[in-house]
Structure 1
């Protein structure tokens, strides 16, 4: 796992590549790659790399090249893991290729030598890479199928620039941090439009796509997408197939030459990943990590989404598997600390406004990094198997709206303002977020593949799953990647194995809910691995702090900001209107999400030289 940057141009005078500019871009990726750094340059391309050594730590330095008779043929800067690199290495050796390292990076290079741009279809893993082909003077940018690893690009430096994160591009003197109306709509709308990067002129390589840059121009190509295929397996065969695919995905993803472990919440997804990972742990007990909050046993209150606290279930599962289990209990004061909010905004390059959800994840990863370099997570299971409650709510299913937004409307108690409530009323009217969301929803639904003659209910549920896999999952994966890589921790996600995703996507909804409840198919496939109490537990999402001191402190900080002459919060927030909202809702919990967004926006405008083009 690493950070990559680079530049290419066909108009620049040969011999004068902007090495120093790319070096500055690469330095912003130090958090993603604390173990090593490298630069490679040619007249028309410069590649930068920061390395987090996971496979073959003593070799595999990047950028890596392939040479012939003293001439460079290919140069690669690569972030991620290819889990089938051993199988590919064996196949490539059979075709006459020779290797000097055990790294998957070298396998990626030789796979391109053998199969050209179609090599991406042979990679099983999570990756974002840039490959310079000196023979054709072509730069190839490639992103994995589900979008687990990020990759951005824009114009600059007389050519095209790329980086793992926007901060890498913004470090180039030609790139300005500009956010226009559509950028702000995307930021606030919770829509995650593929390819949209919020910053004007910046783009994200879409999942399952590659970008080919030549002297004739830039072309985007898709090499993978979800397809609708008739499912012909019966239920027992389907259960067995899911069990086999998931077991293989976890086994492949436990390969590492560094300490590793799992995230263990005590829910179905993390528990089955932990149970399967134990089988591959050969260097003593498997490490498992759990996040909670100081006083959570005292403060916990059940709600629509969380019927019970996670801690007892995580402990039960850790005992069942014999893991070396650690509970990381966070104080409310740490979650509201300015330093941690600023760190989260820097990690994500944007003010996502998720408050304690992001802060606790960042602090969890920071604590884990002291003991492990890699952890496995259950991300993607709920979207694939239909684990969220709103998959089973007729009102949400029938809504012509992104399901998670429809669910938010259903679940929000009366009298709680929307998260945008503290923004300038005139700005909100100008942005018209609901129209933007509706347009993006229509685009997303049109992309969903369909089967001829499919039952209307099955068709709608296929749409629901597709919406989650193409919009919600990339959002969650980006969150997990940014907050983990901010501290040099690699998170792997077995449920996002593309073979598992392709298969389960086409399983009829009636099979996914065969016992009348959520995630029936997954539960049937893994029940034998888990205590019944864990296997039968109802979905409980990522925990949030319930200590009232958290919301009270955030509200106090925002009130103090509104009283200052500092122009930063006034760029998007009208102080008088914001005070009116805060006074109308006297309970800090009622305005909690709105306050978190406002504080996040302030941190962003204070840390980044953003120009708002509104």
Structure 2
């Protein structure tokens, strides 16, 4: 796992620009704390920060191969879980390898198959290949968008990086937020294409982007496929177990310490149980990690996303699978630490999820002391239908993104706990968020392909599943990548394996809920591996502290920001809203108020970190 960056300029001699590529590369030191490397030729400069996971000695980057027609060089972030099979195939075709890394397999795979290597990879990856033979740059992003990849079109080429900060460090592009960028910060719908920063776009998941002197072209190599599902119930359950077992097995390959994130929910417990079984066969013990908050039991109040406490369930699973289990207990008082907030905002390059981001950052930082790689149950709810809206009639009938069914005004998502938005009224009017969200929904829904004989109910549920797997999951995958890589931890997500995704996506809804419960197939596939309490547990989301003192700390920080008369954040935020929010009694404050204040404080720190130009008119 790593950070990559680069610069292609067909009109300049980049051999004179070593300092620039070094500065771009340095912005991603946290993503790759183990090594740094650059490679520069006349029209290209590549940078790489390495987190060593496989072949610690031999996997240094940028990696190059000299051919008769010129050099082919690559920078690569991620893991190819099928690299051993690809290596064997390439060896049968006459290729020789000087390392045991998956990086070299991907690079030599490109020499054999060109950018069709994308279709052959199984894993999570963002990579850039400079092909001197054709004077072109090839950018490839994994199917689900697990690993980020951004780019900026220049007059004579491109800048790219794992994160926007690498592009902004070049100096050609000044940090700027326009109305479109603000809209992207406000609309919680998993937007495609761009970023909050003016001029910075994303390489789409499942896409190859090719840069030539004549311009930039793109090719979609993967999208969610619609296929008939012909397996019966028992075969489906068995096939899911088989696929998930294979996913976990592939993702346990590591030359560094590895663990599993364990919440005690069905998803993470399934990963932990399968990992424990496979490691036990090699006389190894799996490490598991869970998060808790001091005084959470006293302050906890269930809601439709977080229904119960995780700790007892996680402990039960850890005992059953005989894992080396660690509970990371966080102090709510630390959640608004200024240095922590700034680190989280810098990792995100935009306002995030406040306490949820801060606690995840601290959890990952603690895990990093004992492991370099961790497996996570991310995206199982999108895939198997675990969220409440899959089972809520109002959400299922809602002609829009189902997770927004309770926030139809779409003003800063659901953020209107004081009866109005924190955003200044003129910006909300210009943003036209309801129209924008409706447009985005229509665009997303139009990409769904249906079977000819699907019932109206199956069509509706396929659409909901497609929206979750192509839009909603983006925010959570990005959050997990940014918070983990900010502390040099690689997080793998077996439920995003494309073979599993393609199979489960096409299972009819009636089969996905055959026992009248959410995630029926996964539940039955894993029931012999898990405690009955976990098999029967209702979905519960990532926990928060539920501590009124945390809200009070946020209010105090808001008052400090209010004391700055000319603070840049008030070019976007309604000062009177902030004043009212800071005066509320924390014990009686609306449940979402702390999230709203958090968002504003994140925006404040973002403006201090990047000093962007605001072009919101």
Work out whether 1:399 is the aligned partner of 2:398. Answer: yes
Q: Measure, in 2, the Cα distance between the counterparts of 1:603 and 1:415.
A: 19
The residue that corresponds to 1:34 in the other structure is 33
Q: Give 1:349-364 correspondences, 5 Å limit.
A: 349-352=349-352, 354-364=353-363
**What's the offset of the Cα at 1:283?**
6.4
Q: Measure, in 1, the Cα distance between the counterparts of 2:498 and 2:406.
A: 27
Paired residues of 2:7 and 2:44 also in contact (CA < 8 A): yes
**Please, which of 168, 172, 175 is the counterpart of residue 174 of structure 1?**
172
Q: Give 1:414-563 correspondences, 5 Å limit.
A: 417=417, 421-563=421-563
The residue that corresponds to 2:141 in the other structure is 143
The residue that corresponds to 1:24 in the other structure is 23
Q: Give the CA RMSD over aligned residues.
A: 1.9
The residue that corresponds to 1:103 in the other structure is 101
SS at match of 1:528: coil
The residue that corresponds to 2:190 in the other structure is 192
Q: Structure 2: give runs of 5+ residues left out of the alignment.
A: none
Q: Give 1:585-604 correspondences, 5 Å limit.
A: 587-590=588-591, 591-604=593-606
**Please, which of 594, 606, 609 is the counterpart of residue 611 of structure 2?**
609
Cα-to-partner distance string for 1:67-126 (whole Å, 9 max, x where unaligned): 246x74310000000000001000110000000100000000111111111111000000
Q: Give 1:153-168 correspondences, 5 Å limit.
A: 153-156=151-154, 158-168=156-166
Paired residues of 2:395 and 2:405 also in contact (CA < 8 A): yes
Q: Give 1:338-417 correspondences, 5 Å limit.
A: 338-352=338-352, 354-407=353-406, 417=417
Paired residues of 1:421 and 1:581 also in contact (CA < 8 A): no
Q: 1:112 to 1:231 in 2, by over 3 A?
A: same
Q: 1:366 to 1:397 in 2, by over 3 A?
A: same
**What's the offset of the Cα at 1:156?**
4.2
Q: Measure, in 2, the Cα distance between the counterparts of 1:572 and 1:283.
A: 57
The residue that corresponds to 1:328 in the other structure is 328
Q: 1:582 to 1:406 in 2, by over 3 A?
A: farther
Q: Measure, in 2, the Cα distance between the counterparts of 1:408 and 1:101.
A: 53
Q: Structure 1: give runs of 5+ residues left out of the alignment.
A: none
**What's the offset of the Cα at 1:429?**
2.1
SS at match of 1:199: coil
Q: Measure, in 1, the Cα distance between the counterparts of 2:456 and 2:464.
A: 12
SS at match of 1:49: strand
SS at match of 2:589: coil
SS at match of 1:447: coil
Paired residues of 2:555 and 2:581 also in contact (CA < 8 A): no
**What's the offset of the Cα at 1:323?**
0.6
**What's the offset of the Cα at 1:589?**
4.1
Paired residues of 1:157 and 1:174 also in contact (CA < 8 A): no
Work out whether 1:260 is the aligned partner of 2:258. Answer: yes
Paired residues of 1:141 and 1:212 also in contact (CA < 8 A): yes
Paired residues of 2:157 and 2:213 also in contact (CA < 8 A): no
The residue that corresponds to 2:92 in the other structure is 94
Q: 1:392 to 1:278 in 2, by over 3 A?
A: same
Q: Measure, in 2, the Cα distance between the counterparts of 1:333 and 1:581.
A: 19
SS at match of 2:527: helix
**What's the offset of the Cα at 1:606?**
1.1
Q: 1:80 to 1:560 in 2, by over 3 A?
A: same
The residue that corresponds to 1:219 in the other structure is 217
SS at match of 1:114: helix
Cα-to-partner distance string for 1:192-235 (whole Å, 9 max, x where unaligned): 22111121111100000010011111001100001211111111
**What's the offset of the Cα at 1:483?**
0.5
Query: Which deviates more from structure 2 when the two are superposed, residues 357-366 or residues 189-198?
Result: 189-198
SS at match of 1:79: strand
Q: 1:415 to 1:355 in 2, by over 3 A?
A: closer
Q: Measure, in 1, the Cα distance between the counterparts of 2:304 and 2:469.
A: 24
Q: Give 1:63-102 correspondences, 5 Å limit.
A: 63-68=62-67, 72-102=70-100
**Please, which of 200, 203, 217 is the counterpart of residue 202 of structure 1?**
200
Cα-to-partner distance string for 1:515-547 (whole Å, 9 max, x where unaligned): 011000111111111011111100000001111
Q: 1:59 to 1:211 in 2, by over 3 A?
A: same
The residue that corresponds to 1:294 in the other structure is 294
SS at match of 1:47: strand
Cα-to-partner distance string for 1:150-191 (whole Å, 9 max, x where unaligned): 000003485311100000001011011111111111111112
Q: 1:508 to 1:246 in 2, by over 3 A?
A: same
Paired residues of 2:187 and 2:437 also in contact (CA < 8 A): yes
Cα-to-partner distance string for 1:426-457 (whole Å, 9 max, x where unaligned): 22222222221111111111111111131011
SS at match of 1:529: coil
Q: Measure, in 2, the Cα distance between the counterparts of 1:573 and 1:289.
A: 38
Q: Measure, in 2, the Cα distance between the counterparts of 1:548 and 1:78.
A: 44
Q: Measure, in 2, the Cα distance between the counterparts of 1:607 and 1:278.
A: 43
Q: 1:386 to 1:17 in 2, by over 3 A?
A: farther
Q: 1:484 to 1:283 in 2, by over 3 A?
A: farther
**What's the offset of the Cα at 1:564?**
2.6
SS at match of 1:314: helix
